[in-house]
Amino acid sequence: MPKTLQNYNRHRRIGNSLNFDKSLNSLVGIVIICSLVVLAEADGYDEDKDALLKLKSAITEDPLGFTSNWNPKDRDSCSWYGVTCDSQSGRVTALNLSSNSNGSCSLLSLQAATGGNFSLLFPCLHESDGYKNYSSKLRGKLSLAIGGLTQLRVLLLGFNGFSGELPLEIGKLYLLEILDLGFNAFYGNIPLALQNCTSLRVINLSGNRFNGTIPVFFGQFPDLQVVSLSYNMLSGSIPEELGENCGSLEHIHMAGNFFSGSIPTNLGNCSELRSLILSSNMLQDDIPPSLGKLMNLQALDLSRNFLSGVLPPELGNCRQLEVLVLKHNHGTLYSRDNGSLQIQPAVEGEEDFNFFDGGLPDSITRLPNLRLFWAPNMNLVGVFPQNWESCPKLEMLNLAQNFFTGQIPASLRNCRSLYFLDVSSNNLTGPLPEEISISCMVVFNVSQNFLSENIPRISHHECPKMPGALSLLHVDLLGFYASFFYNKAIMSIAPLSSPSDGLVVLHDLSSNRFTGPVPPFLISSEKLSGRPLYGFWLGENNLKGNISIYSFDLCPSLDGLIFDIGNNKIIGELPLDMGNHCGCMKFLSVAGNQFVGSIPQTFSKLESLVSLNLSRNRLQGSIPSYFGRMEDLKYISLFSNNFTGAIPQELAQRKSLQVLELSSNSLSGKIPPDLTKLEHLNILRLDHNNLTGQIPSGFSTTTSLSVFDVSFNNLSGSVPLNPTLIKCENVQGNPNLQPCHTDPSSSEWERHSNFSQQGAYSPTGSIHRNSNVFNPIEIASIISASVIFSVLIALVLLLVCMRKFACNSVADPGSVRKEVVICNNIGVQLTYENVVRATAGFNVQNCIGSGGFGATYKAEIIPGVVVAVKRLSVGRFQGVQQFAAEIRTLGRVQHPNLVTLIGYHVSEAEMFLIYNYLPGGNLEKFIQDRPRRTVEWSMLHKIALDVARALAYLHDECVPRVLHRDIKPSNILLDNNLNAYLSDFGLARLLGTSETHATTDVAGTFGYVAPEYAMTCRVSDKADVYSYGVVLLELISDKKALDPSFSSFGNGFNIVAWASMLLQQRRPSEFFTAGLWDSGPHVDLIEILNLAIMCTGESLSSRPSMRQVAQRLKQIQPPAS
C-alpha cells in the first residue's frame, strides 16, 4: 500500500474518532439539558403541589369538600378539584374554588371572553341558589403560599368566607390575568404588590371589606377589561389615571363604597366601556358630558350619590345604552350581614341623594336601544317629554315624583314592549290616552296627578311577550335591575299579601280628577292565565254612580285582589257579587263614599281578607260576627257610619287583628274584655258611640296598643291605670266614669306629649311651704335681691337700647285677663296669669337662656308640670295679627325632634311662646362639658341624626316650608336621655314655595352662617345645611366654629377649613374629640367628617339636602349595644 494511502487511512481513523467524540459530547450535553429541564419541571410540580397543600392547610372550613381529594401522596396536583394545569408544562395555570363555580353568576366564563355576559359581574339573588343565607363555603385565610403558583393565570375564589388581609405574595403572580375574590370577607388596603400583575384583565374584589383608596396603578394595566370593586369600604376619589390608558376597559363597577369627588371626565375616553356602575357613593358635582362619547355603553347607574346640575344632553349619543339609572329610593342592592347576600328591605322614607336641575333632554328619550330608564324624584321640571317614537324597546320607565306638567303623550304607544310605567306624583293633566296599553302593563302608576275625564276602557290587542327577568334569578344586567325594581314595587303590598313567585299586576290611578263610572278591571285576559295577584287603585277621584251591579267575573282567575275605590262619590249599596265571586280579595276600601244599607251576608265569603275599610259612609245595621272568623284579617275600619248593636264578641277572638276602628257609630253594649288579650292589636278606637259598662281592667297591662280611645260613650267605673296608654283625653265625655287621675311623679305622665320623649313636664315636683312669715335670713335675702334686681333693670335697659334682648324681671303688666292660645293640650289649663305667675313675673332667677329672639324662662304651672316660656321682645315683630297668624302656623308643626309649641300669647304689650321643657340643657353646654365625661360614638351619632331629621322635616314636609336660619348648638336642646330637639325654628322667617328668598336682614350667628347668605342676604334651605355642617363638625371635635386655636392659620380660618385641611392631608384622626377615634369605627367617623364637609361646601348645588343627610346618617347607624 502506498505511503500516501496509509497516511490518508490513518488520518481518516483519527478524524472519525474525533467526530465520534464530538457526537458523544453533544449527546451528553443534550441529555444533561433534558435532565435539567425534567428536574426543573419536577421542581415546578413540587413547588405548585406544596403551595396548594399550604393553601389547603389555611382553610378552616370546607363543608362541600372542595379540597378533600388534595392528597399529599399524589404524584401531581393536576387531578385535584379546582386545579387546571398546562398540558405542555404540567404547571398549575388556574385555580377555581368559587362556591358559585357552576352557577350563572360566576366569572369563570370570562376566561374565554372577558365581560361577555353582564350577569357574570353580579351575584345571584335567588334563595333557592343558596345566596340569601348560604353557609356552604370555604372559610379561612388566603395563605402566603399563593405566591408560589408562579404560572397561575386564573384565580377564582368568589362567594366564600375567606378573611384577613390580602397577602402581598399575590404580587408574585406575574402572569395572572383573572383575579376573582368577590364576596368574601377580605379587609385592609388593596396591596400595592398587585401592580406587578401587569397582565390582569379582570379584577373582581366586590363584596368584601377593603378600605383605603383605589390604587392609581389600575390605570397602568394595558389589557384591563373589568374592574369590579363594588360593596367595599373604599373611599377617596376615583383616580383620573383609570381613564388614561383604558382602551380595553369594558366594565367599571364601583357601587356601594364611600367614593367622593367628581366623576373623572376622562372616563369618556374608554371607548370600549359597556357598563359604568357608580351608584351608592358620595360622588358630587355634575355628570360629565364626556360620558356621551361612550358609544358602546350599555348600562349606566349613577344613582344614590350627591350629583347635581343639569342632565347632559350628550348622554343621548350613547346609542347602545339599554339601562340608565339616575336615581332610586330603595337603598343599596346588597347587604353584607353575616357575609350573606340579599336584597335590602324597603326603608320608610329612604331616598336617593342626587338633586338635578332643569328638565329631561329630548335626546335621552330618543335612545333607540333604551330598555330601562329610572329617574324618579329628580327635581325635573318642564313639560313631560312627548317624543317616544324612537324607544321601541323600552320596557321599564319611572319618572315619578318630579314636577312635569302637560299630558301623558300618546306616543308612548310606540313603546310596545313597555310593561312598567310610573309617572306618579307629577303635575300631569288631561285625559289618559286610549292608545296606551294599560292592560298589558304589569305596573302602571299615574297616581297623584291632575288627570281628568273618564278612564278609557281597555283595548283588547295582543300584549308583548313578558320578559323572563321579573323573578329574582336574573339573566343579565338588565334582568338584574328589572327584577330588583319590580320586586321593590310589589314589596309595597307586602303588609297585605305575601305573593308567591307568581305574577303581581299593579294598576294605580288614585288621587287624580277622573270622572265617570268606576271602570272595569284593566288587567288583560292574557295575564289571567298565570293567576296573578291584582292591585287596582281608583281612590281619591271624582268617580260617580252605583256599583251594585259591578262585574267581578274576573275574580276567580286571580290569586288575590286589592280593590280601592275610596274617597269618590259612589252611591248605592255594597255589591252582592263581590262576596260571591271574590273570595281571593285581600284589601277592600270603599271609604269616604255614600254607600247605604247593611254589609251583605255574602261578604262572609271574603275569607282571604286582610284589610277592610268601609269608613265614612252611611252604612247601617249590625257589625257581622263572621269578621271574627276571617283568619287573615288584620285591619278593620268601620268608623263614621250608622252601625248599631253590640261589638261582636267574635272580633275579640281574631288574634291577627292589629287595627280596630269603630268610632262615630251608634254601637251599644259593653267593650268585649277579650280585646285586651289580642297581642297584635295596635290601634283601638271606640269613641263617640253609646257603649256602656266598665273599661276592661285588662287594658291596664296591655303593651301592644299605641292608640286607645273610648271617649264620648256612657262608660262607668274606674279608669284602668296605664299611663303609657290611657290619657285623660282618651276617656273624656263619659259622665259616669270616675274622675281621671294621673300620677304627677310618673315618668310616663311626663312623656304625655306625642312629639317629645321628654314631654312638657319635669321629672320632679317642687315642695311649697304654707308659711307666710319671713325669718331674718329671708328678709336679708330679699333686700339683697332687691339691690341686684335694680342693677339688672339698668342692664336690661342698656341691652334694649342695643336691640339685644336678655333676661330681665318685669312686674305683672296689668290685671286685665289676656288670652293664651293653646296649640297642643297638655292636660293643664294655661292662662296668661298662671304662666306669668309661674315665671315669677319673668324673674331673672327663672331665666334658663337668652338669644336673638328673647329670653327663655322655666315655669312650673302646677307641681310636676314644667314648661319653657320664651318671652319675645315687644316691637321686634311688626304687625301683631300677622305675627299671630305665623305663630298659629308654627303650632301645627310637629315632629319628634322639634320642641313643641304648646301655646302663645301675642298682644301689643306682651309676646311669649310656651314650649315643652327639656331638662338636659342645650348642645352648646353638652359640648363644653364633654371633656368631663365619656360620650359614646353612638350617642353623638344619635344627636346628629335627630337634628338632621328635624331639619329635613322643616324643609321638605312643612307647608309652607320652614327655614331655620339660625342653627347653632345653643338652639339644639336635649332631654335627660340625650335625645335632641331643634328650637327657635320658624321665628326668623317662614318661606313659601320658592327655593330661595331675598332678605335685607341676615339672621344667624357668625361662624355658622353660610357664605352666600352673609354676602348676598339670599337665604335657602342650603344655608341651613351649611350651618348644620358646622354644628356637626363641632359635635365630633373639640373645637368651636371659630376656635381661638385657629388664629395661627390667619384671619378667616375656621373649623370648616381646619377639617378640610386635615382630611386632604390624610390626618383625620387629629380632628376628632379625645377618645372618639380610638373607640369609634374609623370608616364611619371618616364618612361623618366627609358628610359635614360636603354640607359646608361653597357651592349650593354641591351641598346635600337635609333629607339626604338624614338618610346617609341612617345608613351608617352604629350597631345596637
Annotated binding site: 870
Whether 379 contacts 351, CB under 8 Å: no
Selection from 803, 830, 801, 804 nearest residue 817 by Cα: 830
> Can you spell out the DSSP letters for 439-494?
GG-SEEE--SSEEEEEPPPPP--PPPPPPTT-SSS-SSHHHHHHHHHHHHHHHTTT
What cell was used for 225? 377589561
Residues near 392 by beta carbon (within 8 Å), at least 6 away in sequence = 368, 414, 415, 416, 417
Selection from 460, 459, 479, 461 nearest residue 470 by Cα: 479
- What is the torsion angle, in degrees rounded to the nearest 10, for the CA atoms of residue 228, residue 234, residue 236 and residue 242? -20
The residue with cell 282571604 is 608
Separation CA 526–CA 458 (nearest Å): 13
Distances in Å between the Cα of 603 and the Cα atoms of 189, 549, 622 are 64, 15, 14
Selection from 686, 613, 690 nearest residue 644 by Cα: 690
Go through the chain and tell me how many residues it has.
Answer: 1121
Selection from 700, 698, 732 nearest residue 713 by Cα: 732
What cell was used for 423? 309617572
- Is 966 annotated in the active site? yes
Separation CA 290–CA 270 (nearest Å): 10
Q: Give the Cβ contact number of residue 1118 at 10 Å.
A: 15
Separation CA 514–CA 1050 (nearest Å): 65
Whether 655 contacts 631, CB under 8 Å: no
Selection from 294, 236, 234 nearest residue 268 by Cα: 294
Element (H, E) at 1085: helix 1082-1095
Amino acid at 702: T
Helix runs in 573-653, H state only:
576-581
Separation CA 73–CA 124 (nearest Å): 38
| Three-class secondary structure of residue 159 per DSSP | coil
Selection from 957, 897, 899, 987 nearest residue 1107 by Cα: 957
Exposed (0-12), middle (13-18) or buried (19+): which is 1006, by Cβ within 10 Å?
exposed
List 564, 966, 975, 1084, catalytic entry: 966
The residue with cell 299615574 is 446
Distances in Å between the Cα of 388 and the Cα atoms of 300, 368, 374, 384, 394 are 20, 10, 15, 11, 9
Q: Distance between alpha carbon 476 and the CA centroid of its chain, in Å?
A: 26
Separation CA 355–CA 371 (nearest Å): 23
Q: Distance between alpha carbon 563 and the CA centroid of its chain, in Å?
A: 29
The residue with cell 328668598 is 997
The residue with cell 283625653 is 729
| Three-class secondary structure of residue 901 per DSSP | strand
Residues near 404 by beta carbon (within 8 Å), at least 6 away in sequence = 380, 381, 382, 383, 384, 423, 426, 427, 428
CA dihedral over 379, 380, 383, 388, signed as positive or negative: negative
**Which residues are marked as active site?**
966
